[in-house]
Amino acid sequence: MAITAGVVAVQGDVNEHAEAVVEAAADHGEAATVIEIRESGLVEDCDVLLMPGGESTTISRLIHREGIAAEIREHVASGKPVLATCAGLIVAASDAGDDRVETLDLLDVHVQRNAFGRQKDSFEAPLDVDGLDESFHAVFIRAPVISEVGDVDVLATWDGRPVAVRDGPVVGTSFHPELTGDHRIHELAFFE
Ligand code: GLN
């Protein structure tokens, strides 16, 4: 039996996430079929969902306009998993600190966009992640800071700040776990 993985594809890094989820599934002896979500009516067919990086203002505007936002909320309400990365994390948060982003309130965190500072616009860091035996090489690109955490599990921190969190079926990361060929974060979100 194959699982169906939906990548929210209105804008942002779609292909890398599609590859990562297929490989993560294969490691668990499962096949994954990937569908790209740009319109309503597809989310209900998905076992797992990915909300990629990109531009959170654009992603939030389009998923609301297309009627996808409410479907993502229903997916989570029924206990199905979501991995939300970078801009995806911003959209999934309860507060993005920016009126142009209408958040989905799937993760009980406040974020600040682009807040790791200009010199650190993009950087890479080895992270200790709860649930992984060895460190994860994380790539941060104009990454959001998680500035307040509510009722979530913090899975990893960098520089004293949370950069990976879990709120029930939803995992959010400030960084891009799809860019390095290491799909352990996808496994953690979907298969463990
Ligand atoms: N800076 C982007 C935003 O605020 C996120 C960057 C990313 O997803 N790589 O939406």
Q: What is the CATH number of the domain that holds 61?
A: 3.40.50.880
Query: In angstroms, what is the span from residue 82 Cα to ligand 1's centroid?
Result: 18
Atom 4 of ligand 1: nearest residue by CA position = 113
The CA-based dihedral angle spanning residues 107, 112, 114, 118, taken in that order and rounded to the nearest 10 degrees? -140
Q: What is the pTM of this model?
A: 0.97
pLDDT of 121: 82
Query: In angstroms, what is the span from residue 51 Cα to ligand 1's centroid?
Result: 12
How far apart, in whole angstroms, are the C-alpha atoms of residue 123 and residue 121?
A: 7
pLDDT of 116: 84
Q: What is the pLDDT along the chain (192 residues), one digit of tens a residue?
A: 799 999 999 998 899 999 999 999 999 999 999 999 999 999 999 999 999 999 999 999 999 999 999 999 999 999 999 999 999 999 999 999 999 999 999 999 999 999 987 656 899 999 999 999 999 999 999 999 999 999 999 999 999 999 999 999 999 999 999 999 999 999 999 998
Whether the CB of 98 sits within 6 Å of ligand 1: no
- Ordered DSSP codes for 61-88: HHHHHTTHHHHHHHHHHTT--EEEETHH
| Segments forming the whole domain that contains residue 26 | 2-190
pLDDT of 118: 65
Closest among 100, 106, 95, 37 to 66, alpha carbons compared: 37
Query: In angstroms, what is the span from residue 153 Cα to ligand 1's centroid?
Result: 22
pLDDT of 54: 95
> Ligand 1 test: best mutation among 89, 113, 174, most atoms within 8 Å of CB?
113
pLDDT of 135: 98
Task: Count the domains in the chain.
Answer: 1
- Give bridge partners of residue 4 from the DSSP assignment: 33
